[in-house]
Amino acid sequence: MKEKVVLAYSGGLDTTAIIPWLKEHFDYDVICCCINCGQGEELDGLEERAKLSGASKLYIEDVVDEFCDDFIVPCVQAGAVYENKYLLGTSMARPAIAKKLVEVARKENAVAICHGATGKGNDQIRFELGIKALAPDIKIIAPWRMTDIWTMQSREDEIEYCKQHGIDLPFSADSSYSRDRNLWHISHEGLELEDPANEPNYDHLLVLGVSPEKAPEEGEYVTMTFEKGVPTSVNGKNMKVSEIITELNALGGKHGIGIVDIVENRVVGMKSRGVYETPGGTILMEAHNQLEELVLDRATMEVKKDMGNKFAQIVYEGKWFTPLREAVQAFVESTQQYVTGEVKFKLYKGNIIKAGTTSPYSLYSESLASFTTGELYDHHDADGFITLFGLPLKVRAMKLAEIEKNNK
C-alpha cells in the first residue's frame, strides 16, 4: 500500500502540477485538501480537477466560522496591524489552514504534508511552523525549494508538464496578478506592482470593490454593536462574525474602503510590494478602535498598543501556535471585558467618518471634559501636578545651567 501525502490544494496551476509531480518523484497516494476560508467561486470545479490531475481523494474543509471566531476576532481585539497598514489577511488564514491539514493528515494516516508556497515568501514559514508545532513527526514537502527535482520555473513549464502527464486543463499562460483571497481580504502582487515607481492600475486590479473616485457621491451611515470586543450586529441585525464581515465587505467595497498599497518587509528579509483590499476588515477594525477609545483607560491603551504590534508580528511570522501568542492574546482578552457598546459612522469615498459612539462602560465624563469641570476637578490642583510632573525637566535644566556657568 502506497504512503499518503496531503497536498494543500487551491485548484490553481501550481498545486495542480504538484499532483503528478508527487506521484512521479515519491510514488505517493496524493490526498488533496482545500481549506475554505471564504474564497468564494474559486472552489468551483475543484473535485473534478483534482481527480483528473491524479489525486485519489479531495477534501474541501469549510473553516470560515472557525477562521473568523478563532483567528480574525483575536487580531481585531488586539488591533493587530503589521507595519501600520497590513491587516494580516493572508497571515491569519495560514495557521487555520495548517491546523486543518494536520487533522486531515492524521485522519488519512499520511506521512507527509505538501504545500505550493515559494521559497521567497512568508507562507512557507507560516505553513511549516504551524505543521511543526502541531505534528512534529509529519514530513513537510516544499517543491519550490527542491530545485534538484522541481525544474519548472514558469507557468508555461507547468502547463507543459501537466500536458505531458495527460492533464489538459484550461489554464492560461498569460501573466496576471498573484492573488490570495479569503473572507477577510484579497491581496494582489505582480505585474505593474513589482515596480514601486508604478501607480496601481486599480481599474484592472480591484476585485472586492471600487476606488474612492468611483464610489457613490452620497455617504452611507452604518451602526455596529460589540459585546466584550466581539461584533454582534450591523444596522440593527444580529449576525455571527462571518456574516458581519460579509455584510461589511459589501458596504466597504461599495464605498472604496480598505484599499492599501504597501511595501512590506517579509520575514525572509526582502521587501515586497502589494495591494490589499480589506473593505469589511478595515471597517471592523476602525469601529472596534472607536469603541475602545471610549472605554479603555490611558495606561491600558498604552500597553495594549505595544501588545497589538507584538501580536501583529507574531501572526505575520507564522508563530500562532506558540506560548507567546497565547500569552499576548490572554492580555488582550482581559482588556475586552468592557468593550461593549454601539458605534455609528459614515462611509464616504474611502473614508470612515465618526458619527457617534456609546457604551454603558464609557469613561468619558461630560462634566469633566467641559470647561466648567464641577466638583471632581479643581483647576488649582494642576499647579502641584505640573510641578511634580515637570520636576525632572526642571532639575536637568538647572544642572546644565550650573555646568555652563562653572565652565565660563
Answer for the pair 88, 111: CB distance below 8 angstroms, yes or no.
no
Cα within 13 Å of Cα(177), Cβ side: 20
Is there a catalytic annotation at residue 178?
yes
Cα 215 from Cα 163, distance rounded (Å): 44
Q: Strand ranges (DSSP E) for 154-277?
A: 178-181, 186-189, 220-227, 230-234, 237-238, 259-265, 271-277
CB within 8 Å of 164: residues ≥ 6 apart: none
CA–CA distances in Å: residue 2 to residues 30, 32, 109, 136: 10, 15, 11, 21
Is there a catalytic annotation at residue 27?
no
What does the block give as the cell for 170? Answer: 484550461
Catalytic residue among 62, 65, 155, 178: 178
What does the block give as the cell for 315? Answer: 501572526
Catalytic residue among 29, 91, 94, 181: 94
| Sheet of strand 341-348, all strands in order from the earlier edge strand to the far edge | 237-238, 230-234, 220-227, 341-348, 351-358
Burial of 381 (0-12, 13-18, 19+ CB in 10 A): exposed
- Is the CA virtual torsion 149, 6, 61, 163 positive or negative? positive
Catalytic residue among 29, 49, 91, 123: 123
Answer for the pair 332, 307: CB distance below 8 angstroms, yes or no.
yes
Cα 305 from Cα 362, distance rounded (Å): 19
Could you list the active site residues? 14, 94, 123, 178
